[in-house]
Amino acid sequence: MIAALVLNALVTVAPANTDYYVYVTAESSDEVYLTCFDGSEVRVVERIPVGYMATEIEGPHGLTIEPGGEHWYLTMAHGKPFGTLYKYRTQDNELVGQVELGLFPATMQISSATGLLYCVNFDLHGDMSPSTVSIVDPEEMVEVAQVETGAMPHGSRLSVDGTRHYSCAMMTDEVFELDALGFECLRDMRIDDGTGAVTRRAEAGHHKAVTKPTWILPHPSRDLAYVCLNGAAQVAEIDLEEWRVTRRFPTAKAPYNLDLTPDGKLLVVTYKAAASVGVWDLESGREIQRIETSRPVTHGVVISPDGRYAFVSNESVGGDPGTLDVMDLKKHERLASVELGLQPGGIAFWKMDQR
């Protein structure tokens, strides 16, 4: 009864007459879901089957939406052997283009400066060798370049001005900065856990992943970036001008994805092995709330453009359906949930509509 009263209280502070639309992948059921949150409840608007091999699970992984909102893009991890990037219209969710990329294409984003799409090829196949970032012309759906980075790259994100691309290599403990216009690596850094273990192992010539970075995101207004160190239970803050770690935030187990509110004040981190998300105040460097998720394996997060809500994808375990949770970033509570398919992961915010 108390929980119901709290939930009702939270619903009343939601902005009136606003719908929030979010796309979510279901990696183990080859589906994408278009969802709508109305300030009180979240529901599935459309279930979109994806892939072309009816007898195989192809693994829809990453999602992004172009700046104008007219198309959404999906990475399909598994292929023969390479993965594929698909392009869909948001108007009717119909497939309108595709292009083959590298091994296990994963997260991606489109640059506001170049109009090009940058996708990391995660490469789960064979030995842990350096992989690449694929650069695609999304208008023509043609791959124009590949830039080599580290082993198992992830967290493909761009600076606000679109001129710099950032990613991290999970199995080599590295972060990379690429010139989005010149298609070259400008800087890279092995990112430690504060003990020096990464540096010592690299110098000894037998590097083994320690921090396992899985996500990197530049700050919306400051020359900073934030990195999830999945293996070290930390989020690291990087000064992009000096190219060094300036702060470390100890987190719950296995921080995986993160997002920032548009004003740059709050950081929301998913804890993949702790069934929760952390809400961090960046000025104080303090976790101000930890919110339990509706499923035990927490994956992706995206924050609405008004900074009001965080949308969180939660993977399923076994045959249980996964979920999408909506977190209230004013009250720091889980406000609503909806069941999706198996292993929801990739997530992208589409639009806010006034009813």
Given pLDDT bands bounded at 50, 70 and 90, which one contains residue 203? low
**Contacts with 287 (C-beta within 8 Å, 6 or more apart), sequence order:** 249, 251, 278, 279, 280, 281
Nearest to 270 by CA among 225, 302, 231: 302
pLDDT tens-digit profile of 127-157?
A: 778 999 999 999 999 999 999 999 999 999 9
> Using CB atoms within 10 A of its CB, is residue 284 exposed (0-12), middle (13-18) or buried (19+)?
exposed
| CA distance to 99, 255, 297, per residue, from 273 (Å) | 34, 8, 6
Please say whether the beta carbons of 248 and 238 come within 8 A. Answer: no
Task: Give 194-199 contacts, CB < 8 A, sequence gap 24+.
Answer: 194/234, 194/248, 198/173
Q: Which two tokens stand for residue 282?
A: 């960046």
Least confident of 20-34, 45-59, 90-104, 277-291: 45-59
pLDDT confidence of 3, banded at 50, 70, 90? very low
Q: 203: which 2 tokens?
A: 């110098």
Distances (CA, A) of 279 to 120, 248, 252, 282, 285: 27, 15, 12, 10, 10
Tell me the HSE value of 248 on the side-chain side, using a 13 A CA sphere.
15
pTM above 0.75, yes or no: yes
Integer Cα distance of 317 and 36 in angstroms? 24
What would the pLDDT profile of 162-201 be if each residue is shown by its tens digit? 999 999 999 999 999 999 999 999 999 999 999 887 777 6
Domain definitions of the chain by residue range = 2-354
Cβ atoms of residues 66 and 136 within 8 Å: no
pLDDT tens digits, one per residue of 93-108: 999 999 999 999 999 9
Q: Is 11's pLDDT higher than 50?
A: no
Per-residue buried b or exposed e for 212-246, using 16+ beta carbons within 10 Å of the residue's own CB: bbbbbbbbeeeebbbbbbbbbbbbbbbebeeeebe
Fold classified for 2-354:
Methylamine Dehydrogenase; Chain H (2.130.10)
Contacts of 352 (CB under 8 A, 6+ apart): 18, 19, 20, 21, 304, 305, 306
pLDDT value at 2 more than 60: no
